[in-house]
Amino acid sequence: MRRSAFRRSRGDGPFRFASTGAGVVLLAIMAAIGLFLVVKALPALQANTSHFLTELTWQPNATKPIFGIGALAFGTVLSSLLALLIATPVAVGVALFISHYAPRRLASALGYVVDLLAAVPSVVYGLWGVAFLVPFMLGPSKFLNDYFGWIPLFSGESIVGKSMLTASLVLAIMILPIIAAISREVFLQAPKMQEEAALALGATRWEMIRTAVLPFGRPGVISAAMLGLGRAMGETIAVALIFPATFKISFQILGPYGNSIAANIANGFGEATEVGRGALIASGLVLFLITLLVNMAARFIIARRKEYARAAA
């Protein structure tokens, strides 16, 4: 007995220390990301001859560096919101299909098919976007411009395939699986008793979903959408290939405008000077902080409700 008690104290200490240490390392990495981005961004920000948060142009490699996040942040937010607008209704439909409509035996296999969308690498979506979607979108874009040109979003003179709309569409496809997966988990956890009670009272399937499933699932869907928003804002390579990389604020989503923080980092890194790299790091810091806020808000909503504990992963 004594021997085993002795051995416990000897082996347990280091192991406990190692596993606690690993957890702390994870926290340290998160802190270090913020810290080192700030450290490397500061010199470039000091060399900047304009205001970083409001300036639209991006010429950090010039002898008199002038750059700002304005146009990039605008493009990031607009493309992500458009993607969210396109993806969320479809994702909720997909989630309902798998949780309440598809035949039980097929449901998990069909869910796996949707998950496969998430397994396709970003660069493959980029290649697909450039080679297929960009030329393909020219027709629908012209149609939107011809018949709905009176809506400011669809107005404009030059209509191209490499547009904000095409980039948002690719983003929507890429964030659809995560929104669908979390919504599906949440819908599956809706109280069975309430669903059955609704059906017993004579509700149709839609009325049952509207009264028992959707109210229960709403916070889950909202946080899923926010996680999707975070993904969309950080998405890099696919949109770097599609965006026309302009530095202009324009709501004409069919025109040759659009860029994002992440896309600009990928496209601008190759020819960046030292100040240029610092400027890109500064823009990355802004992206990091925005996605951090969005993700923390989303996680907070999920964590607040114990019922969702399983869906959070």
Partner 1 sequence: MTVQTGIQPISATRRAKDRLVQVLVYLAFALAVIPLVSVLWLVVKNGIGRFDMEFFTHSMRNIGARDAGGGAYHAIIGTLEQVLLASLIAVPIGLLTAVYLVEYGEGGRLSRTISFFVDVMTGVPSVVSGLFVLAFWILVLGMPFSGFAGALALSILMMPVVVRATEEMLRLVPRELREASYALGVPKWRTIVKVVLPTALPGIVTGVMLAVARVAGETAPLLLTVFVTDSINNDPFNGPQMGLPLYVFNQTILPTDVAVARAWTGALTLILIVMLLNLVARLITWWRSPARRR
Residue 107 and residue 222 in contact, taking contact as beta carbons nearer than 8 Å = no
Query: Of 230, 255, 256, 276, which lies in the binding site for partner 1, with binding defined by CB under 8 A?
Result: 230
Q: Kindly tell me which of 150 and 200 has the beta carbon lying closer to partner 1.
A: 200
Non-local (6+) Cβ contacts of 61 within 8 A are 271, 272, 273, 275, 276
CA distance 217 to 146: 39
If you search the block for the tokens 């007995």, which residue do you land on? 1
111 phi and psi, to 5 degrees? -60, -40
Residue 109 CB, shortest distance to partner 1, in Å, is 11
Kindly tell me which residue out of 68, 80, 187, 231 binds partner 1, with binding defined by CB under 8 A. 231
As a whole number of angstroms, the distance between CA 137 and CA 154 comes to 13
Interface mask toward partner 1 for 129-148; x: CB under 8 A = -xxx----------------
What is the spatial distance between Cα 41 and Cα 192, in angstroms, rounded to a whole number?
53
Q: Which of residues 232-251 bind partner 1 (CB under 8 A)?
A: 233-237, 241
Token representation of residue 177 = 């699986």
Q: Which of residues 291-310 bind partner 1 (CB under 8 A)?
A: 291-292, 294-296, 298-299, 303
Taking residues 18 to 57 in sequence order and writing x for each that binds partner 1 by CB under 8 A, - otherwise, the string is xxxxxxxxxx-xx-xx--xx-xx-----------------
Contacting range for partner 1; rule: CB under 8 A; set: 155-163, 189-197, 213-221, 260-268: 260-268
Q: Toward partner 1, which CB reaches closer, 66 or 102?
A: 102
Q: Which of residues 152-211 bind partner 1 (CB under 8 A)?
A: 173, 176, 180, 202, 204-207, 209
Coil, helix or strand for 265?
helix
Considering the rule CB under 8 A, would residue 92 count as an interface residue with partner 1? yes
The least distance separating partner 1 from the CB of residue 207, rounded to whole angstroms, comes to 7
Stretch that binds partner 1, among 137-145, 191-199, 214-222, 286-294 (CB under 8 A): 286-294
Q: At what angle do helices 70-96 and 261-268 cross, to 10 degrees?
A: 120
Q: Other CB atoms closer than 10 Å to residue 191's CB: what's the count?
A: 12
